[in-house]
């Protein structure tokens, strides 16, 4: 027999249990992302119009990646962004998918000697590095949205942006835009044009040092030529060259100052792929008054990053988040996931702790209009419980939406299996797990068995192995359209034994 023939006999057009990772699960993405929710969904997701932090610990395969995809989908579809008792949209958050940590860790690693142990490198990772990474993802996404063809940068047109917001957006773009879709300087200038930055007067004001140097040198040259007998004798006059140097000193001072600022930015943004040349060229385009009181992230401190975050939230309110009717961006939802997957971390709980621990800061976790969704491996919960009172006072986990274990009951897993069956069922077919088994395997037996599997990934693996054993035990000429109780119990016992052995080898139990 073939699995396809067995499933098609029951009106199921595809194998609902062939994928184990939600990231690559077509069935989940197309049919289950809006229906197969964990029982703690409401607490984890909350109301996106008022973003709040949630911290979730779950073992591998418990559905953390599925939660991330569901939160992104829910925000994109406008879930929860309507005010109570009204159809008016109150705003949507900008979703920052902070799950691909490899690029940030790689750039951070390059700051150190290749002979430095990775544990010592990750130990240097600080909260401001997380903030730089988050700001980079958010600013790049925001600029993409502003520059999208046909999308106005503000819900009421560019006139809604005041000069301070325009300045803040351009400075955020200078520091944190990491898009590689086009030339960085051209992209920044395109953003400046769309926001109508500068005017005829500011054009000359921003270039007055050049005009002073070039114009003054020409005037000095003409005067020297006028009072000199020979046509080119003035070029040998040291006073002429002293005057030229003096006239170009303001431009030289500006160049040195901007290059120094670019160098400090490049040095401070440790996890971003910024270059001194790109930063210098953009800084040279800004007007002198734009630098007054600006909190450039040029030191190892979180204070400037928080100020940049506040400026980002300020300009978000001027950008539409899409939908009908359009709604402005009301804040940020930052989803941190897959911290065990970067190849330099390689699943090490100790390295994950070094990477993640700095983000447990109540100032960030409870930041107004920012909701962090931390989807973390359950190995880190052990370290949390061992921490001293100083850590708990700084993190204030008692004030966060803390989910200590992403548990699934047998009934919840049975519902999940039925949802996936129905997603793959032919039109007009109502599929149920009990129909695949002999009468001895009833709903109660299924829920008891699924409770032992604990998480969706183990459920899918078990059901796939069970289907495989069933079809291997029967031929095409003598098919069996019901899975026997003997096959069910045998595969379940073997799977539970193998899982326990694997967990012991990994040190999980």
Q: What is the DSSP string of 384-445?
A: HHH--HHHHHHH-GGGSEEES-----HHHHHHHHHHHHHHHBPTT----GGGGB-TTS-HHH
**pLDDT for res 156:** 45
Give the mean model confidence (pLDDT) for residues 219-238.
59
Residue 161 pLDDT > 70, yes or no? yes
pLDDT in tens, 286-316: 887 778 777 888 877 899 999 999 999 999 8
Residue 349 pLDDT > 60, yes or no? yes
- The pLDDT > 90 percentage for the chain reads 57
* Residues forming a β-bridge with 331: 93
**pLDDT for res 23:** 86
**pLDDT for res 253:** 84
Q: Worst-scoring range by mean pLDDT, 13-17, 297-301, 480-484?
A: 297-301
pLDDT in tens, 20-33: 888 888 899 888 88
Q: Which tokens sit at 145?
A: 């949205």
Answer for the pair 326, 155: CB distance below 8 angstroms, yes or no: yes
Residue 186's pLDDT band, with cuts at 50, 70 and 90, is very high
Q: Which residue has the higher pLDDT, 405 or 222?
A: 405
Residue 438 pLDDT > 60, yes or no? yes
**Helices within 227-301 (DSSP H only):** 238-268, 276-285
Task: Summarize the chain as % helix, strand, coil (round to 5).
Answer: 55, 10, 35
**pLDDT for res 326:** 58
Answer for the pair 67, 43: CB distance below 8 angstroms, yes or no: no
Give the mean model confidence (pLDDT) for residues 372-398.
92
Q: Say if residue 480 is exposed, middle or buried (CB neighbours under 10 Å; 0-12, 13-18, 19+).
A: middle
Strand order in the sheet with 92-98: 92-98, 329-336, 370-377, 54-58, 401-403
**pLDDT for res 322:** 58
**pLDDT for res 84:** 40
């Amino acid at each position: 027999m073939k699995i396809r023939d067995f499933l098609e006999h029951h009106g199921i057009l595809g194998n609902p249990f062939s994928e184990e990772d939600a990231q690559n699960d077509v069935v989940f993405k197309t049919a289950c992302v809006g229906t197969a929710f964990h029982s703690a969904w409401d607490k984890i997701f909350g109301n996106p119009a008022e973003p709040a932090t949630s911290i979730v610990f779950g073992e591998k395969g418990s559905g953390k990646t599925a939660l991330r995809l569901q939160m992104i989908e829910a925000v994109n579809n406008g879930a929860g962004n309507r005010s109570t008792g009204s159809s008016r949209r109150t705003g949507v958050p900008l979703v920052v998918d902070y799950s691909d940590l490899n690029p940030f860790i790689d750039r951070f690693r390059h700051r150190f000697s290749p002979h430095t142990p990775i544990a010592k490198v990750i130990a240097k990772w600080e909260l401001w590095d997380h903030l730089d990474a988050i700001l980079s993802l958010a600013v790049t996404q925001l600029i993409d949205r502003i520059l999208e063809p046909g999308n106005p940068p503000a819900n009421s047109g560019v006139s809604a942006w005041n000069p301070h917001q325009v300045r803040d957006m351009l400075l955020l773009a200078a520091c944190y835009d990491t898009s590689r879709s086009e030339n960085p300087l051209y992209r920044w200038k395109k953003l400046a044009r769309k926001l109508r930055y500068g005017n005829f007067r500011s054009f000359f004001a921003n270039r007055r040092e050049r005009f002073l140097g070039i114009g003054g040198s020409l005037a000095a040259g003409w005067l020297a030529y006028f009072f000199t007998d020979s046509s080119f004798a003035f070029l040998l006059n040291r006073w002429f060259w002293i005057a030229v140097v003096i006239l170009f000193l303001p431009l030289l001072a500006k160049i040195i100052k901007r290059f120094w600022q670019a160098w400090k930015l490049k040095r401070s943004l440790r996890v971003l792929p910024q270059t001194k040349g790109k930063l210098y060229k953009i800084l040279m385009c800004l007007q002198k008054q734009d630098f007054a009181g600006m909190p450039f992230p040029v030191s190892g401190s979180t204070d400037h990053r928080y100020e940049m975050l506040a400026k980002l939230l300020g300009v978000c309110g001027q950008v539409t988040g899409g939908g009908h009717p359009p709604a402005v961006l009301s804040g940020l939802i930052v989803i941190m996931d897959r911290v065990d997957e970067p190849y330099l971390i390689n699943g090490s709980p100790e390295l994950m702790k070094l990477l993640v621990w700095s983000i447990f800061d109540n100032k960030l976790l409870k930041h107004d209009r920012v909701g962090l969704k931390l989807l973390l491996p359950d190995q880190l919960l052990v370290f949390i419980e061992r921490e001293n009172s100083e850590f708990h006072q700084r993190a204030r986990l008692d004030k966060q939406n803390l989910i200590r274990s992403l548990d699934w009951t047998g009934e919840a897993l049975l519902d999940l299996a039925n949802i996936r069956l129905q997603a793959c069922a032919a039109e007009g077919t109502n599929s149920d797990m009990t129909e695949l088994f002999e009468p001895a395997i009833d709903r109660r037996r299924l829920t008891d068995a699924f409770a032992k599997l604990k998480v969706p990934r183990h459920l899918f693996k078990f059901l796939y192995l069970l289907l495989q054993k069933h079809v291997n035990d029967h031929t095409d000429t003598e098919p069996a359209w019901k899975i026997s109780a003997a096959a069910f119990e045998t595969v379940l016992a073997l799977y539970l034994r193998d899982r326990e052995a694997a967990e012991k080898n990994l040190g999980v139990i």
